[in-house]
Chains A and B, each alone.
Chain A
Amino acid sequence: MNKKSVFTLVLLGAFTLSNVAYAELRRGDAFFDTTPTANYVKDIDTYINASVADENLLGAVTEAISDYEGISGANINYDTNASASSYDLRVAAGQLGLDYAGETRVYYLDDDDTYQRHYGTEAWDRVKIYLNREYMDYYNYSSANRRKTTIHEFGHGLGLVHQTSNSIMQQGKLSLTDPTQLDRDNLSWKY
C-alpha cells in the first residue's frame, strides 16, 4: 500500500469517527417514531399549574413557549387558556425526591376516551411536563441551567429525541437557553 492510500484511509477513518462521536440527528432521525401532528402543534392547549410559579419557574416556561413560537419556519403555537381538566400540554413543578431536573410523559387517547401512557407507536394526544426544583437546587442549577431544562422538556413535547451535540436536546446541566439552529431546522422541516 502506498503512502497516498494510507493517508486517504487515515483521513477517512478520522472523518467517520468524528461523525460517530458527534452525530447530529436531522429531520426524521431527530424525532420519536410517533410524533405530534402538525395540526396538534399549531394550537397546543396548554395548562400551567400554579406550582410552576410557586417554584419560581414560570419565567422559564414562558421563555420556552416564546422560543418555540418564534421559530419562523414552523407553525407552533401554545394557547395557555386551557383548563386543568382539558388540555394538550400540562406543565407542573414540585420538590420531587427523584434525581432528575425535568421529565416529559406522553399519553394517547384510547377507545374509551381515557388517556393512557404512550408506549411508542400510539397516537400522540397529550403531554405532561414535570420540573423538579429539588433536583435543580441540590445540583446548584443556575437560572440558565433551569431554563435549558425547561426548553429541553418542551422540545420533547414537540417530539424531539435526545441529541449528543449542538442541540437543546442534549442531556445535562448546560447553559444553552435557546433551541439551536439544528433544533430550529428540524422543527421547521417537521412542522
Chain B
Amino acid sequence: MEVGGVMKKSITVSIAAIALLIGGAFSYQQLNVPQKDYRVAISQADFIQFENIEEVEKYSGYIVQAEFTGKRSLKEWNLGEGEVKTASKSEVKIQKVYKGSLEEGDKISVYEPAYFDGDVFDTIEGYNLMNEEGTYVLFLRDTGDKEGYAIIGMYQGKYDISAGMQNTKAKQAQPDDTYRSLEEREYFGENVEQFKKLKKEVLEKYN
C-alpha cells in the first residue's frame, strides 16, 4: 500500500472517531439535560360529582377505549372583549367502541381541562393530561363547536387502564408540589376517594 493511501485511511478513521466522540458527547449532554419542571395552578370548579360509573355512562354519548397520538394543541373559546378560555385539544385513536357512533381506528379530538402555559401547568380541579404510554377509557359527549368532544365530568370521564396503572395513582396536590412530583398521577384534585371508586368500577367493567 502506498504511503498516500495509508495517510488517507488514517485521516478518514480520525475524522470518523472525532465525529463519533462529538456525537456521543452531544447525545450524553442531551440525555442529561434536566427536563423542564412546571408550577401547578389549580382552578376551582362546580360540577356534578357522580356516585358511580353508571351515572357517568348515562350522560355519555360515546364510551371508547383509545390511545393519545401525541398530537396536542391549544383550544381557545372567545368569550368576547378580549377574554379567552383555554384548554388542550388532544388527538386520540379509537381502539374499541363501547357506546356511540364512532369506529375503531377513528382519530378524534378531545378537549382536556388542563394545559401548559410558559412555566405553569394550568389545571381545573387537578385533571392531568393523557400521555402516549396510557390506554384510556373515555366517556365523551358532543360539543357545540363539533370539532372536539368533551370528557364527561373532567377527571370522572378519563381512566388509564394500561398495565402500569391498574393500581390507581391519585393524590391531592399540595401547594409545594410541582408538575414533576405529580405527572405520574392520573388525578390530583380534592376528590381522590371518589375517583378511586369510579376507577375501580371502570377496571371491573372495561378492563
Residues of A within 8 A of B (CB): 33, 49-51, 54, 84, 90, 92-105, 116-121, 128, 130, 134-135, 138-139, 149, 152-153, 156, 162, 171-173
Indicate the member of B75, B145, B175 with the most A CB atoms within 10 Å. Answer: B175
Within 37-94 of B, Cβ neighbours of A (below 8 Å) are at 39-41, 43-49, 59, 75, 77-83, 85, 87
Closest to A98 in B: B113
Give bound CA distance, A105 to B117, whole Å: 14
Give bound CA distance, A172 to B125, whole Å: 14
How many A-B pairs have beta carbons closer than 8 Å: the answer is: 116
Across-interface contacts of A118 in B (CB, < 8 A): 41
14 A-B residue pairings within 8 Å (CB atoms): A49-B83, A51-B80, A84-B82, A92-B85, A99-B47, A99-B153, A101-B47, A102-B45, A105-B43, A119-B175, A120-B175, A171-B48, A172-B46, A172-B47
Contact B48 A92 (CB under 8 A): no
Knowing A100-B47, A171-B47, the reply to whether A49 touches B80 (Cβ < 8 A) is yes
Residue of A51, A104, A134 touching B144 (CB-CB under 8 A): A134
* B interface: dominant SS: strand
Is B154 an interface residue, CB under 8 A from the partner? Answer: yes
Contact A139 B59 (CB under 8 A): yes
Is B198 an interface residue, CB under 8 A from the partner? Answer: no
Size of the chain B interface, CB-CB below 8 angstroms: 42
Across-interface contacts of A95 in B (CB, < 8 A): 77, 144-145
Give bound CA distance, A99 to B79, whole Å: 17
Across-interface contacts of B202 in A (CB, < 8 A): none
Contact B124 A98 (CB under 8 A): yes
Knowing A50-B80, A149-B46, the reply to whether A100 touches B154 (Cβ < 8 A) is yes
Give bound CA distance, A97 to B89, whole Å: 10
Contact A97 B148 (CB under 8 A): yes
Contact A99 B82 (CB under 8 A): no
Knowing A104-B44, A117-B122, the reply to whether A99 touches B190 (Cβ < 8 A) is no
Across-interface contacts of A51 in B (CB, < 8 A): 79-81, 83
Is B126 an interface residue, CB under 8 A from the partner? Answer: no
